[in-house]
Structure 1
């Protein structure tokens, strides 16, 4: 049997800490019509679910947390319990779809069954339909979920933007990652020395990063409407931009695509705070930015392999270009300081602690008021090529993040073919302006695109070329 890691189990404890929280992640695939019959849909998914072991497994827990929860085959598995069908009210526009998404995602998954569901939404405008897939976060992180759900498509997955992430490009280490053995004794001495120095440097790098993360979590942010208790109800919205526009901006300002996306989010949050009558300060938007540490040979594994950075997004800066430059410099500094490695070291260290102790510690920490982080922004690379489901084309894919730990909004970003989508989940009562947050992100990208083209014209360079 496979056991949950300490990180996987954390998502169960976070959900248990607040009865208003559902720790499921999801995505909505917008499909080209016409929709298949429900019987055809069930038959197709029943066949393809057999290629994903987690689809037919349940969690077994141990009394007093004497062992970590483990995955076991569900002897009563019935796929019809996991497939549902709903019709959107007329006119089947985005507003109707988003309201239905929020309603489905706010309900917790039944832990007595495999922790996933799939919903067909019929009645979308322009002869479209949609499939919402919902998976508990203890089962998989964003990349693992995307890879897992791709197996339901007609081609079983295909190439993914996930191959571009840092962890996927790092060399795979086998065993202890020792260098190739040489027959020359002088090479042995040199190799031992280099390895010792590298190990000390890596340990120091991780320690500094872990210390920075800990200090950030202990530093309370100013009072903000973005942070506080949540209700059981949710709102959902999405912002849509072209991947090519983000790439053009990143090339013009010599920053990463993720920097551009986070700058657009920063600009939108600034406007939200101002509209709410709050003055954005330097410490107003400490943001949890999950970072994948999933190696390329672990893409098909259903689990969580993430670390984190906790940058302060510059909502106190009004100029969009300066915002972008500050986002880039702060993310660069966070990467250089070892926050990614430090967070990964902390989660790895938990493997060596008896599960009962780690579970009790997490349970205590998740029940304390969390005031350091006020937003989360996660970037999930999706398929490079267009997907099909039952012969119908997948037009776009919208990511759905959860909210928890007093975070009243969360943004998930997903790249799919030539699109880049920001999916936004918010608490129903405290974030009625979620549409303004989505519109603000689109406006933020548009302003940066205008600035990047003006910059290129000024320099007299090719608007589509690299510097």
Structure 2
């Protein structure tokens, strides 16, 4: 029997700390019709689910949480508990789909059963239908969830998706080589010295990053309606933009795709603050940015392997190009400052602590009313080609992030085919303007695209920054391939 890692179980503990949240992640796949026969579709989903062990298993916690919970097979798995059907009211537009998605994601998954649901949704406009897949975060992070969803499609797309990620990840990997075997004692000593120096530098980097993360968690930002307790109800909206437009901005200003996406999110949150009569401050929008630390050989593993960064997004800057430059600089600082390494070190350290203490600590910490972090923005690379289910093409894929930890809004960024999709989940009461928040992201991308393709003669292009992180050049080169 496999045990949950401390990080995996931490998502259960964080959920337990707030009765108003559900830490499930989701995705809506919109397909061209006609809708297959119900029994045929259920049989196909069931067959593909059976190939994924985690979706056949339940979590069993130990008495007093003395040991980590275990994954155990459900002896009475009944697909009727997991695969459900719904119809949208006429005319089946995006507004109706988004309302249904928000309501479907609100309830917590039943921990007495495998932690997933699949909704078959009919009645979409233009003769289309949809699948909404809901999976608890304790099972998988963003990359693993996309691998799981791709594996439910026709033709073994899950394997192709993993291979594409491995190829991109391998091209982006930089590490310290191990000492080469040699009989020359001077070369051996030199190699050992280089390795020890690299390890010392990494340790120092992690310490610096830890200081930054702790400071970000304990330092309260300006009081804002964007942060505070959440209700049990959600709103959801989504927009998609051509990946080619994002790539054009990335190349014109010599920044990464992720910089462009975060800059668009920044501008939309600035507008949201203005709508609320709040003056954007440079410390208003500290953002939780998950970062994958998944190694190449673990791309097909269904689990959580993430670290975090906590940059301030520059909502105080009115000019969108200046916003983009500021995002680029701040993300570069966060990367070079060791925040990613610090997050990984904390997760590794938790493994050395008795699980009962680690579990209790996570529940206490996640229950505290923090005001330092305001929102979440997570970027997940999706399939580069359109998927199919029973021969029907998945024409759109919409990510659904959870809301938790007093963060009243969360944004998931997903590349799918030739598009970049932004899915926005918010607390129902705090964000009645969720559609405006989503549309603001698309508007910001359109504006930056126009500037990139028709630059103002007085505006210089963004210069290369000395502190650029090693992986940014790969991210920029990857734009046309849609690997992010």
Q: Which range, TM-score by smaller chain?
A: over 0.9
Equivalent residues, number: 461
Query: Which structure 2 residues correspond to residues 41-56 of structure 1 after superposition, within 5 A?
Result: 41-56=41-56
Corresponding residue number in structure 2 for 1:319: 319
Residue 159 of structure 1, aligned match among 153, 161, 177: 161
Against the structure 1 CA distance between its residues 281 and 396, is the aligned structure 2 distance closer, same or farther, given a 3 Å change threshold? same
Against the structure 1 CA distance between its residues 459 and 403, is the aligned structure 2 distance closer, same or farther, given a 3 Å change threshold? closer
3-state SS of the aligned residue for 2:307?
A: strand
3-state SS of the aligned residue for 1:126?
A: helix
1:148-207 per-residue CA deviation (whole Å, 9 max, x = no partner) reads: 11111002222366447668832699xxx7433223222221111111111111110111
Determine if the alignment matches structure 1 residue 180 to structure 2 residue 180. yes
CA RMSD of aligned residues (A): 2.0
Against the structure 1 CA distance between its residues 119 and 307, is the aligned structure 2 distance closer, same or farther, given a 3 Å change threshold? same
3-state SS of the aligned residue for 1:42?
A: helix
Corresponding residue number in structure 2 for 1:113: 113
- Any conservation in 1 of the 2:179–2:188 contact (CA below 8 Å)? no
1:265-284 per-residue CA deviation (whole Å, 9 max, x = no partner) reads: 00000000001111000010
**TM score, norm. by length of structure 1:** 0.95
What displacement does 1:384 show?
Answer: 0.7
Query: Which structure 2 residues correspond to residues 370-449 of structure 1 after superposition, within 5 A?
Result: 370-449=370-449
- Any conservation in 2 of the 1:163–1:169 contact (CA below 8 Å)? no
3-state SS of the aligned residue for 1:281?
A: coil
Structure 1 residues without counterparts, runs of 5 or longer: none
What displacement does 1:368 show?
Answer: 1.0
Determine if the alignment matches structure 1 residue 7 to structure 2 residue 7. yes
Cα distance in structure 2, aligned partners of 1:154 and 1:171? 34
Corresponding residue number in structure 2 for 1:32: 32
Query: Which structure 2 residues correspond to residues 202-241 of structure 1 after superposition, within 5 A?
Result: 202-241=202-241
Corresponding residue number in structure 1 for 2:467: none
1:311-357 per-residue CA deviation (whole Å, 9 max, x = no partner) reads: 00000000000000000000001101011011111111111111011
Against the structure 1 CA distance between its residues 215 and 460, is the aligned structure 2 distance closer, same or farther, given a 3 Å change threshold? closer
Against the structure 1 CA distance between its residues 412 and 167, is the aligned structure 2 distance closer, same or farther, given a 3 Å change threshold? farther
Structure 2 residues without counterparts, runs of 5 or longer: 462-476, 480-484
1:226-285 per-residue CA deviation (whole Å, 9 max, x = no partner) reads: 111111111000011010000000000000000000000000000000011110000100
**TM score, norm. by length of structure 2:** 0.92
3-state SS of the aligned residue for 1:323?
A: helix
Cα distance in structure 2, aligned partners of 1:225 and 1:355? 36
3-state SS of the aligned residue for 1:394?
A: strand
1:379-436 per-residue CA deviation (whole Å, 9 max, x = no partner) reads: 0100011111110001010000000011111000000010100000011111100011
1:32-91 per-residue CA deviation (whole Å, 9 max, x = no partner) reads: 111111101111012111221111011010111100111111111122221011010000
Corresponding residue number in structure 2 for 1:305: 305
Corresponding residue number in structure 2 for 1:82: 82
Corresponding residue number in structure 1 for 2:172: 169
- Any conservation in 2 of the 1:162–1:168 contact (CA below 8 Å)? no
Cα distance in structure 1, aligned partners of 2:460 and 2:381? 33
3-state SS of the aligned residue for 1:259?
A: helix
1:2-26 per-residue CA deviation (whole Å, 9 max, x = no partner) reads: 1111111111111111111000000
Cα distance in structure 2, aligned partners of 1:156 and 1:456? 47
- Any conservation in 1 of the 2:169–2:296 contact (CA below 8 Å)? no
1:93-122 per-residue CA deviation (whole Å, 9 max, x = no partner) reads: 001000000010001100000001100100
Cα distance in structure 2, aligned partners of 1:94 and 1:338? 41
